[in-house]
């Protein structure tokens, strides 16, 4: 049918690690590149601004009251993004000018929560340059819990991006059945999964979600190589000595609703690539399985989702 297709962009890039402004410059350039290639949506990796906390497992990150860990954390918070305070305004302006929607992974600091804790957030910006949702990762994974605060359900939302309905999750929360179900039940048929990087993360889950949901699944990873570590970070020499040449190796990919590859996992290179997806394939594949439609039983099982933005204080003034 007419208008059944959408071109999507995969922006697999490395951050300028722990440098918010220079990383945003790279993101804007990649967004412009995707738009030139005809994309109506471009997605970036998890925690890309200002980067994944790769120092934790390489510098004895669980040591309590460590001056080195405190120095890293202080810089991380300083370079995080105040979304509510306009920290993504430049990217929103580009999205509006180029008429392209964007999913981007940022470390978010929230002034309403004092601004010294960071949330791993997945931000959706629509083609009008408006922020549609800020999804804070529900549960940080393993060493991430030493650095990141836990999120809430406020950002578990889908967005109309004709002819698709798009939603997304951060990294390992893509393995959470109920988190996925919350998006399926809101009409999702294009799922965006963002990752810090590595094919070992994306190769199985991308195809699994596609087969389960009969949706397109776009997995977008970041990159991080030893050469990307700036020399002005705390204890540069120790981190460099403990870092592998390639710490996160890409693996961005795109699966059809059949579970087959449209874009196979990409190698460890910075690249902006695009592919065109067709909504008719979604409709065809849901003939036999639509887990929130004709194959559901809401009279037997139903999911409740709390989308309240959590706060430690609720003020009531007379």
Which of the residues 26, 46, 211, 253 is marked catalytic?
46
Burial 44-57 (b: 16+ CB within 10 A, else e): bbbbbbbbbbbbbe
Instruction: Please list the residues that pair with 169 across neighbouring strands.
Output: 193
Sign (positive/negative) of CA torsion 54, 57, 62, 64? Answer: negative
Sign (positive/negative) of CA torsion 266, 217, 21, 272? Answer: positive
Tell me if residue 46 is catalytic: yes
SS3 state of residue 131: strand
| Nearest partner of 47 among 135, 127, 126, judged by Cα | 135
Whether 214 contacts 256, CB under 8 Å: no
- Distance, CA of 183 to CA of 179 (rounded, Å): 7
Which of the residues 26, 108, 109, 137 is marked catalytic?
137
Which of the residues 26, 108, 144, 171 is marked catalytic?
171
Q: List the structure tokens of 171.
A: 């990294």
Q: List the structure tokens of 246.
A: 């390639």
The H-assigned helical ranges of the chain are 20-36, 67-79, 89-98, 177-184, 199-213, 236-242, 279-285
Apex CA 169: angle with CA 13 and CA 275, to 5°? Answer: 50
User: For the CA atoms of the chain, what is the radius of gyration?
Assistant: 19
Q: List the structure tokens of 36.
A: 């030139």
**Distance from first CA to last CA of the chain, Å, rounded?**
57
- Distance, CA of 191 to CA of 38 (rounded, Å): 20
Annotated active-site positions, please? 46, 137, 171
């Amino acid at each position: 049918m007419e208008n059944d297709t959408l071109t999507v962009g995969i922006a697999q890039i490395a951050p300028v690690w722990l440098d918010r402004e220079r990383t945003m410059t790279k993101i804007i350039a990649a967004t412009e590149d995707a738009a030139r290639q005809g994309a109506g949506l471009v997605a970036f990796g998890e925690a890309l601004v200002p980067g994944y906390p790769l120092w934790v497992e390489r510098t004895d990150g669980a040591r309590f009251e460590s001056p080195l860990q405190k120095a890293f954390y202080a810089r991380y918070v300083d370079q995080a993004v105040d979304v509510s305070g306009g920290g993504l305004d430049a990217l929103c302006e580009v999205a509006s000018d180029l008429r392209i929607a964007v999913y981007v992974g940022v470390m978010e600091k929230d002034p309403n929560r004092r601004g010294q804790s960071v949330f791993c957030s997945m931000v959706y910006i629509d083609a009008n340059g408006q922020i549609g949702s800020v999804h804070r990762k529900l549960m940080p994974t393993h060493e991430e819990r030493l650095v990141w605060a836990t999120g809430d359900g406020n950002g578990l939302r889908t967005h109309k991006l004709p002819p698709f309905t798009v939603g997304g999750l951060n990294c390992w929360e893509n393995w959470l059945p109920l988190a996925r179900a919350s998006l399926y039940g809101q009409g999702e048929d294009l799922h965006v999964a963002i990752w810090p990087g590595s094919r070992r993360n994306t190769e199985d889950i991308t195809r699994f979600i596609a087969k389960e949901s009969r949706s397109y699944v776009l997995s977008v990873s970041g990159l991080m190589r030893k050469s990307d570590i700036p020399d002005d970070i705390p204890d540069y020499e120790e981190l460099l000595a403990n870092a592998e040449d390639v710490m996160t190796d890409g693996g961005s990919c795109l699966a059809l609703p059949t579970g087959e590859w449209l874009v196979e996992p990409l190698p460890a290179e910075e690249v902006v690539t695009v592919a065109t997806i067709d909504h008719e394939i979604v409709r065809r594949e849901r003939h036999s399985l639509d887990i929130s439609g004709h194959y559901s039983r809401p009279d037997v099982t139903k999911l409740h989702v709390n989308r309240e933005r959590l706060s430690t204080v609720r003020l009531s003034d007379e």
